[in-house]
Every structure is written in structure tokens, then in C-alpha cells.
Amino acid sequence: MTDPQDAIDAETAQWATERDPRVAEHTAGEVQEGIPFVGAGPGDPGLLTVTGKELVEAADLVVHAGSLVNSDLLTEYCADAEQVSSIGKDLEELVPLLRDAYESGREVVRLHSGDPAVYGAAVEQMDALEHEGVPTYIVPGVTSAFAASATLRTQLTLNGVANHVAFTRPQGKTLDPESDHVGEFVEMGDVTTCLYLGTHAVAETMDRLVDDGHDPDTPVAVVYHASWPDEDVIEGTIETIGERVADAGYRASAMVVIGDAARKAGYERSYLYGGFANGERPDDSQQEADD
């Protein structure tokens, strides 16, 4: 097998100068040739897409993201398949596992949590497999920020409150402090900041925001295991949430939502359904812009 980094370098060099023809041939949701990288959704098996469910039901081998994928989903939809957790496996182990199963004619699914395109490290596996001659494609899933907003019964964009959404992560082992932009997103004011991979560091992250002069009363909601049976919601502010999460003992698997949208506070009715007393109704193009 080619060294995974060399394979990634070769694939990215190729696509830097030419376009993968499949981009123009296929749309998301279409079943294609190769190994599908399926988004399992946030946890509840009901939040797996119809295409994702059909693919895992037909699979002989499902390589999944360990405890980030609800075991109920594996039991309900792929009990007959061989199930392998990817936790603790590097590309050197994963790529031959997936390749050999695919080349021996088995139906193979790579199951990521949430959506594979958000903190999923899917593309490096896909590139390494493509380099080995194994086609791959993505089947999207519901990312955990969307499950968290549904749990909170809010919108991540909310008229008059938040016009933007940031999917981000705080500094830590993988991200150095200069690349941590949490404070910048919070500073913008009309951004709902969704922190992935930050459950273990809520207190430190919030302390940094306070030290940097951000409004300590900014609302924060932490949704642990959104859509799982043991889902839990902890609400507070930049000032209070760290201690509350520490008291609850959560160190992983939570979505931290920062901003007024987390509390559904102070929004205004939208232009889309805006009261048309002046007779000026939005047309379809405006509807698309506001939907």
C-alpha cells in the first residue's frame, strides 16, 4: 500500500490542476460506485437519511466511528453486517481493511458520526482509497449542531439576532491558540457559534472569553448527546456555563452553542412572513433568499 500521506499528496496534486469529473456527473444523495462515506447523523437512528439506511442495511462490513455512533443504529439497521470501530485505527490500518473488503466483492460502508464533512477526517481516507483504485463518495448526514438547535427549539440563524453560523472548535492538542477564532466569532455579535470538540474545555474556553472582555452574560447552551436517549441540556452564560458543565461531569459528546439564538431571545419576525399591509409581497427569488 502507498504511504497514506504520499497518496493524499498525489491525489491533491492531481485535483489542484484538474477537476474530478464525478463532481459534474453526480449529486449528493445519489448511490454511486465505490465505498460510501455515510453520515450517521447525531445519534437517533431516525435521523439517518433514507439513503444512508438503505446502504447500511445492505452492507456486509460497516466501519463506524465507535461510541460517536449510537449502537442502537447499528443494532437496528446492520445487525447482520460485520461491524468494526475505527477508534484507535490509523490510515495504515483502515485503508487496507476497507480496500480489501471492497475488492473481495463485499458491500462496504464507512459510517461517520453526524455529517462526514464536519470534523470528520473523511477526505483523507477517501483520497488514500482512491489512490489505491477504490472509488468513494459521500452521503451526507445531520450534523450535531442541527440536532442541538432542534433540541433547543431554536434556529441557528434568527432574524435580528444571528445572521451567521460558525462551526468551530477551541484550541487544544490539535489546534494551536493562534488558530482559535472562537473569540472573534463571539465578538461579531450576530453569529451563533457552535463549538465542536470542546466539551472537555468549556470552562477554559469561557474563561478566555471573559478575560478577553466579551460580555459575560452572553447566553450559552450545552447540549450533551443531542438526540440520544440520555440527551441533556445545560444552559447558562459565558460566565456561568463552565462550572455547570463541570458539575454535570461531561467531558465529551456535547455541542456548545454560544449567542442569543441559543436562548431564542429578542428576534424579530422575518421579511418572508412579514405582514404585507403595503401589498409588497416577496417573490420566489426573495423567498429563496430568506427561507
Ligand X SMILES: C[S@@+](CC[C@H](N)C(=O)[O-])C[C@H]1O[C@@H](n2cnc3c(N)ncnc32)[C@H](O)[C@@H]1O
Instruction: Indicate the residue whose CB is closest to ligand X.
Output: 114
Shortest distance, position 193 Cβ to ligand X, whole Å = 13
CA distances from 95 to 36, 244, 267 (A): 14, 41, 48
Cell of 10: 498525489
Shortest distance, position 173 Cβ to ligand X, whole Å = 13
Shortest distance, position 99 Cβ to ligand X, whole Å = 23
113 or 237: whose CB is closer to ligand X?
A: 113
* Residue 88 one-letter amino acid: G
Residues facing 224 on adjacent strands: 232, 254
Ramachandran angles phi, psi of 159, nearest 5°: -55, 125
40 or 108: whose CB is closer to ligand X?
A: 40
Shortest distance, position 143 Cβ to ligand X, whole Å = 3
CB atoms within 10 A of CB 4: 20
40 or 158: whose CB is closer to ligand X?
A: 40
Q: Are 271 and 282 in contact (CB under 8 A)?
A: yes
- Residue in the structure block whose three cell numbers are 460506485: 33
Binding site for ligand X (CB under 6 A): 42-43, 68, 112-115, 118-120, 143-144, 147-148, 196-197, 199, 223, 225-228, 252-255
Residues facing 221 on adjacent strands: 235, 257
Cα–Cα dist 115/66, whole Å = 15
The runs of H, that is alpha helices, within 189-222 are 202-211
Shortest distance, position 80 Cβ to ligand X, whole Å = 26
72 or 80: whose CB is closer to ligand X?
A: 72
Shortest distance, position 162 Cβ to ligand X, whole Å = 19
11 or 115: whose CB is closer to ligand X?
A: 115
95 or 118: whose CB is closer to ligand X?
A: 118
Residues facing 84 on adjacent strands: 63
54 or 231: whose CB is closer to ligand X?
A: 231
Cell of 86: 475505527
Q: Are 259 and 186 in contact (CB under 8 A)?
A: yes
Cα–Cα dist 88/94, whole Å = 10
Shortest distance, position 60 Cβ to ligand X, whole Å = 24
